Amino acid sequence: MRKPFHTEAIFDIMAKHWGILYIYQDQELPSPPSNVTGELLNFTRLLAAMSKKWIVKLYEAAIDADWELVFQLLEEIPESHAFELQTLRNWVMKFQFEKILDLTEPLVGEY
Percent of the chain with pLDDT over 90: 45
Q: Which residues contact 39 (CB under 8 A, 6 or more apart)?
A: none
Domains of the chain, by residue range, sit at: 42-111
| Confidence at residue 35, expressed as pLDDT on a 0 to 100 scale | 47
36-74 pLDDT, tens digit per residue, is 443 446 888 888 889 999 999 999 999 999 999 999 999
3-class SS at 78? coil
Q: What is the pTM of this model?
A: 0.62
What is the C-alpha separation between 34 and 55, in angstroms, rounded? 28
- pLDDT-derived band of residue 31, with 50, 70 and 90 as boundaries? low
Instruction: List for the chain the helix, strand, coil content (%; round to 5).
Output: 60, 0, 40
